[in-house]
């Protein structure tokens, strides 16, 4: 057995089932070893950002380690942007990055570069393997690092000679670090603070946004009157009619201040302190209001769910009940012109039970979130790290993780262009992904930001950098090029019919929404 096979057998034994790959020459022994190690299915992406974003989406849905395979520093570099989102989502991802044979590194061949320096900013664990005999043990450590609470990116650099050299066999799995339990005393302290608070707020993140976490939070709110908010960009949030009435932290800092204004206590459960997404002149970074006490019930690496349940019980909170949930009211069915509001309403109206909604719709998406409270229960994945191009790729990985569920990628047009190669993988794997490209033909958020900075009428040069017109991008043709059927949609009636059809038919579809 060579090092490559010993590594893949180790990873398979630790629960790895899919490898999102864009390999090159230095990874050929690993590619060959995939033939023999049947438990790991290779999935090709034609750009590395597709692979890393797919790994993120897959890991968010399954909580199991997602594996990638990249070609030296430059190949890995293309994956970094979506790994940044995965890092912020705390997704368990293991990257294998091929490298030159150890004895070839001194030659400084054209593709050589400092992979460790590239990997550190997105990785909680980085190792450059030194020998074929060590590779299996390194792989076991990588999975343990990625899966240790709260989850993270482990990057294992695999020299070619460590792949092709002899190895004795796979290594046993290494147990990951479990979520840290939160002590009863600490729960009691937070309960005491909530009891005396007149205007409290509870912010949920990480496992706090699971169905069980949300129900515990809703019970706490029913008992104490505190507000409950999800973090602004949750990695994964279960939502819809019948689930607890939980709002989300707003995006702009002045909106956060409005929501938290007057609060005397902010309890964090799996969330970090709310901060401004960007620094603006005269606006503080940290958005906890003056005079508001901050209490951390559980950090993301703690057992957030158990802590919330314990807190609800410590407060003698009432049992979960339908009264605490979003009602299953009939959602609005708009007509006429295709506006962001109408698109959000149609999506909320038509999305089926169990849908996975990947939201990278940017400014167009804001109306959707509130509409979807009346939709059947579903899963929402959002842009955790702010790095554009998450949507098409994460949707691909989510669909591979959950073959029985429809994935809807609610996608901005500017952000779509960073990883649109995802459509090819969706076509090859015949994944049931519906991509809704919200084509407002601009980086609209930048126009909003310029206006916020007092530039109401940007000049032609600034406009040339925020506009996506001249020429308009034709997403239906792009989809066709990648083997995905598409349709351009100009009004609400057409959108309803086209979206219903795309949801009903297996395989990928793309709708170009001309906003």
User: Which 85-104 residues touch a copy of itself, going by CB under 8 A?
Assistant: 85, 88, 100-101, 103-104
Binding mask 261-300 for a copy of itself (x = CB under 8 A): -----------x--xxxxx-x---xx--------------
| Number of shown-chain residues binding a copy of itself (CB under 8 A) | 99
> Exactly one of 332, 417, 493, 500 binds a copy of itself (CB under 8 A); which one?
417
Residue 41: CB minimum distance to a copy of itself, A? 8
What is the separation, in whole angstroms, between the first and last Cα of the chain? 57
| Residue nearer to a copy of itself on the CB measure, 135 or 476 | 476
Distance CA 495, CA 500 (A): 8
Instruction: Evaluate the omega torsion of the peptide bond into residue 150 and state whether it is cis, within 30 degrees of 0.
Output: yes
- Is 464 one of the binding residues for a copy of itself (CB under 8 A)? yes
| DSSP SS3 for 238 | strand
Q: Could you tell me the smallest distance in angstroms from the CB atom of residue 101 to a copy of itself?
A: 3
| By CB under 8 A, residue 387 contacts a copy of itself | yes
Could you say which of 385, 392, 397, 412 contacts a copy of itself (CB under 8 A)? 385
**How much of the chain is in helix, strand and coil states, percent to nearest 5?**
45, 20, 35
What is the per-residue binding string for a copy of itself in 127-166, x denoting contact by CB under 8 A? ---------------------------------xx--x--
Which of 111, 332, 503, 514 is in the footprint of a copy of itself by CB under 8 A? Answer: 111
Applying CB under 8 A, which of residues 247, 353, 472, 505 lies at the interface with a copy of itself? 472
The reply to whether 184 sits near a copy of itself by the rule CB under 8 A is no
Classify residue 483 as left (phi > 0), alpha (psi -120 to 50) or beta: left
Strands, sheet with 41-44, edge to edge from the N-terminal-most edge strand: 41-44, 18-21, 66-71, 93-99, 153-159, 125-128
Distance (Å, whole) CA 45 – CA 312: 45
- Which residues, numbered 32-51, are part of the site for a copy of itself (CB under 8 A)? 32, 34-35, 42, 44, 46-47, 49
Rule CB under 8 A: which of 332-351 touch a copy of itself? none
CA distance 401 to 54: 10
In the complex, minimum distance from the CB of residue 308 to a copy of itself, in angstroms, rounded to a whole number: 23
Return the residue of 329, 461, 504, 506 that touches a copy of itself, per CB under 8 A.
Answer: 461
Of 402, 473, 492, 513, the one binding a copy of itself (CB under 8 A) is: 473
Binding to a copy of itself, residues 55-84 (CB under 8 A): 73-75, 77-78, 80-81, 84
**Contact flag: residue 124 with a copy of itself (CB under 8 A):** no
Report the 10 Å Cβ neighbour count for 463.
14
Residue 184, burial from CB neighbour count under 10 angstroms (0-12, 13-18, 19+): exposed
Residue showing tokens 């949507």:
391
Q: Return the ∠ at Cα 142 (arms to 139 and 146), rounded to 5°.
A: 145
Residue with tokens 């719709």: 361
The reply on whether position 196 binds a copy of itself by CB under 8 A is no
Q: What value, to the nearest 5°, has the Cα angle with vertex 415 and ends 412 and 416?
A: 80
Give min distance, CB of 114 to a copy of itself, in A. 4
Q: How many whole angstroms separate alpha carbon 92 and alpha carbon 66?
A: 6
């Amino acid at each position: 057995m060579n090092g490559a096979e010993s590594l893949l057998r180790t990873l398979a034994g630790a629960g790895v089932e899919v490898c999102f790959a864009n390999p090159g020459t230095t990874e050929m022994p690993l590619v060959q070893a995939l033939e023999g190690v049947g438990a790991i299915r290779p999935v090709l992406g034609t750009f590395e950002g597709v692979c890393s974003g797919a790994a993120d989406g897959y890991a968010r849905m399954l909580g199991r380690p997602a594996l990638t395979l990249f070609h030296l520093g430059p190949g890995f570099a293309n994956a970094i942007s979506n790994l940044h989102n995965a890092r912020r989502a705390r997704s368990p991802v293991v990257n294998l990055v091929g490298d030159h044979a150890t004895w070839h590194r001194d030659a400084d061949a054209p593709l050589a570069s400092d992979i460790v320096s590239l990997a550190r900013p997105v990785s909680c664990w980085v190792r450059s393997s030194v020998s074929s005999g060590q590779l299996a043990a390194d792989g076991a450590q990588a999975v343990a690092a990625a899966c240790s609470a709260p989850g993270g990116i482990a990057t294992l650099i695999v020299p070619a000679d460590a792949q092709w050299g002899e190895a004795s066999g796979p290594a046993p799995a290494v147990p990951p670090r479990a979520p840290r339990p939160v002590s009863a005393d600490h729960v009691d302290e937070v309960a005491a603070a909530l009891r005396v608070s007149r205007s409290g707020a509870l912010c949920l993140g990480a496992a706090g946004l699971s169905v069980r976490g949300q129900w515990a939070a809703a019970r706490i709110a029913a008992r104490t009157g505190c507000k409950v908010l999800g973090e602004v960009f949750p990695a994964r949030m279960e939502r819809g009619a019948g689930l607890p009435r939980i709002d989300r932290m707003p995006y702009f800092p002045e909106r956060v201040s409005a929501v938290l204004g007057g609060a005397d206590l902010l309890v964090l459960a799996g969330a970090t302190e709310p901060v401004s997404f960007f620094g603006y002149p005269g606006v503080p970074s940290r958005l906890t209001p003056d005079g508001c006490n901050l209490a951390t019930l559980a950090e993301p690496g703690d057992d957030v769910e158990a802590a919330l349940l314990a807190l609800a019980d410590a407060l003698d909170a009432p049992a979960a009940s339908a009264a605490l949930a979003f009602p299953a009211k009939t959602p609005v069915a708009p007509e006429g012109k295709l506006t962001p509001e109408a698109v959000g309403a149609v999506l909320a109206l038509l999305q089926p039970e169990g849908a996975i909604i990947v939201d990278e719709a940017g400014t167009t998406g804001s109306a959707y979130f509130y509409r979807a409270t009346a939709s059947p229960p579903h899963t929402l994945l959002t842009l955790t790290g702010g790095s554009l191009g998450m949507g098409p790729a994460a949707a691909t990985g989510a669909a591979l993780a959950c073959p029985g569920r429809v994935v809807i990628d609610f996608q901005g047009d500017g952000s779509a262009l960073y990883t649109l190669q995802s459509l090819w993988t969706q076509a090859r794997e015949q994944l049931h992904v519906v991509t809704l490209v919200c084509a407002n033909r601009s980086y609209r958020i930048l126009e909003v930001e310029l206006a916020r900075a007092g530039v109401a009428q940007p000049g032609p040069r600034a406009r040339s950098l925020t506009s996506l017109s001249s020429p308009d991008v034709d997403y239906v043709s792009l989809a066709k090029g990648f083997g995905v059927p598409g349709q351009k949609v100009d009004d609400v009636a057409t959108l309803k019919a086209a979206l219903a059809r795309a949801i009903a038919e297996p395989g990928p579809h793309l709708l170009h929404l001309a906003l």
